[in-house]
Amino acid sequence: MLAAMTIRRVLSTLLLASPCFAQSGTFEPRSLPGCPDPSPPQLGVATTPDLGAVARVEASALPASTAGTWLLLGTQTAELPLDAVGAPGCRVYVGGVVLDLAMSPNATSGTAALDLPIPNSQALIGAELELQAVALTPSTNAAGLSLGHSGQLTIGRRTPLPVTAGLVAHYDATDPLGDGSLPEDGSELTTWHDVSGLQHHARALPRAPFYRRSGPGGHPAVDFSRRGDDGLTTGPSAAFDDTDWTVFVVGADASTALFSMSEPGTINHEVLLMARSGPRLSAQHHTRHGNWFEVTHQDVSAGPFLQEAVFGQSPTAVANFAEGSPSTTGGRTVGSPTSYPNAVIRALTLGRRGDSRYENGAAKLHEVLLYDRVLTRSERDQVGAHLAIKYGIPTAYPGS
């Protein structure tokens, strides 16, 4: 936690931004290794270093004797020889070092990783950082050091959402206040701002969930895991009165309702996405209590998940996808569900929305998107791939 806060403070003070830089962030490794080892440590960035994202920096090919790995982070290049300290031929290529941070090891794979949370500040677009991994390897030389290739990380703009036509609500934990700032870690999030531009902000119902700056996978998340009544809801809106919908939810650690849209104070004419035990992701056309059609996915979505659901007007016009793969289980009808009315005022709820064991569990939500139409398969693939890349989730979406 302290490291993440320190990284954010340091990055927020950098003055290397280039306002003309208008692409996604990049990481470019340098060609020269830091030491003349046959297999020097390799450095890479697994997620795109964009504003508001968490760049996962990974060191690989670490020697078996590695006792620890550190990441040097600086603002300029350098070439500092280490011969005098017992590491002949080794060079530090990072200058203006502002941080040296311990990386979390994985002894089984010979790797180490560190999450770099990037503040959601427009002033950082184009900022360039130099990175280099240093492995503590007692048998390598007198200094016990093995230095890998350095590389340049450039902070980019967040990749724009590829499909915006029909978008009526968008909740993103990397920008929960809608102004680029982040709440304090562990604080209550009383309002999750809609960043679609339509002002469908979701407010505490009645108590607020907690905000996690570094949730599952290192990504910011809204945590509905701490209270029994910490859902978030919008007011009733005519924007939610359509009959056809496409919904995307990115979350983790879920066993509850994730997204609900129904007549205020009821579960009538509801569009519902939820996680049953496993978790197995479910999409449900809910007419009223005891009457619904449900499609539950056959796969257990361990770790962070990406759910896509499509709803038409009739009860059985429901398709459910987990990580881009369609459900093959067929549907289950309970009672006598009916078609959605042509016009019904609904309110939207995120997280818990009831007191049953399926609706009052826990979840961490990263992002939720609602479209008031059935997107084409191509459009859904584009949105799915965008979210998969953003959160580092392996999926079946083309291009992810």
| Structure confidence by residue, pLDDT tens digits, 47-74 | 788 887 788 899 999 988 899 999 999 9
Q: Would you place residue 337 in the very low, low, confident or very high pLDDT band (cuts 50, 70, 90)?
A: very high
Contacts of 165 (CB under 8 A, 6+ apart): 373
Cβ(214)–Cβ(220) below 8 Å: yes
Lowest mean pLDDT, pick from 13-17, 80-84, 284-288, 319-323: 13-17
Are 182 and 310 part of one and the same domain? yes
Q: Would you place residue 309 in the very low, low, confident or very high pLDDT band (cuts 50, 70, 90)?
A: very high
**CA dist., res. 232 & res. 183, Å (int):** 16
Number of domains in the chain: 2
Are 242 and 369 part of one and the same domain? yes
Looking at 124, 154, 184, which one is the last position of a domain? 154
Q: How distant is the alpha carbon of residue 210 from its chain centre?
A: 16
**pLDDT per position as a tens digit, 95-139:** 987 777 889 888 778 899 998 888 877 778 888 999 999 999 998
- Sheet with 54-60, side-by-side order of all strands: 42-45, 54-60, 111-117, 104-106
- Domain containing residue 358: CATH number: 2.60.120.200
Helix runs in the chain, H state only: 2-12, 377-391
Are 120 and 223 part of one and the same domain? no
Mean pLDDT rounded to a whole number for the chain: 88
Are 118 and 261 part of one and the same domain? no
Q: What is the per-residue pLDDT for 18?
A: 46
In the numeric block, which tokens belong to residue 353?
């929305």
Q: Which residue has the higher pLDDT, 7 or 386?
A: 386
Whether the link from the prior residue into 138 is cis, omega within 30° of 0, is: no
Are 140 and 188 part of one and the same domain? no
> Has residue 221 been placed in a domain?
yes
Q: What is the per-residue pLDDT for 287?
A: 96
Are 214 and 103 part of one and the same domain? no
pLDDT for 324 beyond 80: yes
- For the chain, the distance separating the N- and C-terminal CA atoms, rounded to the nearest angstrom, is 30
CA 174-304-319 angle, 5° bins: 100
Instruction: Pick from 19-23, 214-218, 391-395 the range whose average pLDDT is largest.
Output: 391-395
Are 171 and 97 part of one and the same domain? no
Are 275 and 326 part of one and the same domain? yes
**pLDDT per position as a tens digit, 353-396:** 765 555 667 899 999 999 999 999 999 999 999 999 888 899 99
Q: Is the dihedral of CA 230, 203, 189, 174 positive or negative?
A: positive
Are 214 and 77 part of one and the same domain? no
**CA dist., res. 362 & res. 397, Å (int):** 27
Contacts of 85 (CB under 8 A, 6+ apart): 143
**pLDDT per position as a tens digit, 131-166:** 999 999 998 899 999 999 999 999 987 778 999 999
79, containing H or E segment = strand 68-81
Are 315 and 363 part of one and the same domain? yes
211, containing H or E segment = strand 210-212
Reduced to 3 states (helix: H, G, I; strand: E, B; else coil), residue 319 is strand
Q: Which residue has the tokens 């982040």?
A: 182
Average pLDDT on 73-79 reads 92
- Domain residues for the domain of 281 are 167-391
